[in-house]
Amino acid sequence: MNQTKYPISIELRIDFSELDLLGHVNNVNYFKYIQASRIKYWETVGINPGFSTDQIVPVLASTSCQFKKQLLYPGNIIVKTGINFIKTTSFGIHHQIFNHQNELCAEAEDIIVMLDFKSNIKVPVSAEMRAMVEKLEGRKY
């Protein structure tokens, strides 16, 4: 059972351009929605999503999505996001996507790796970053 809390919640409007030929939201757009929520999470904890070649930055290493129910136009969605684990050089983000009737429509998982762009090597999650996440999440990892 997933024990993830969801301190980040964003509401997004489904746009007509996001539909496929069958009239429901194309699967590619789910990844756009979780990206928006992932960036909101980083901004909330104080991780600068900007890029510089001499920075240590979080990099998306893997993402997956389990589609549970179609999203339809018109409507709004809610994306809830939280951290489900922190390891030495990586952490996992869990997302839930709900339609405007509060029905769970998708769940997604991201694996984020901390990368030193100068050396192109994975580096440990800093104590400062871990503390920022733990403060937002209200628990220790």
Domain ranges of the chain: 8-137
Q: What percent of the chain has pLDDT over 90?
A: 84
Question: Of the candidates 140, 122, 123, 114, which has an alpha carbon nearest to the alpha carbon of residue 42?
Answer: 114
Phi, psi of 56 (to 5 degrees): -95, 120
E strand residue ranges, the chain: 8-13, 56-67, 76-86, 90-98, 104-116, 121-122
Say if pTM beats, i.e. exceeds, 0.95.
Answer: no
Select the CATH number that applies to the domain covering 8-137 from these four: 3.10.129.10, 3.50.50.60, 3.20.20.60, 3.30.200.20. 3.10.129.10
pLDDT in tens, 109-126: 999 999 998 899 999 999
**Does the pLDDT at position 105 exceed 70?**
yes
Residue range 35-55: mean pLDDT, rounded? 82
* Confidence at 51, pLDDT banded by 50, 70, 90: low
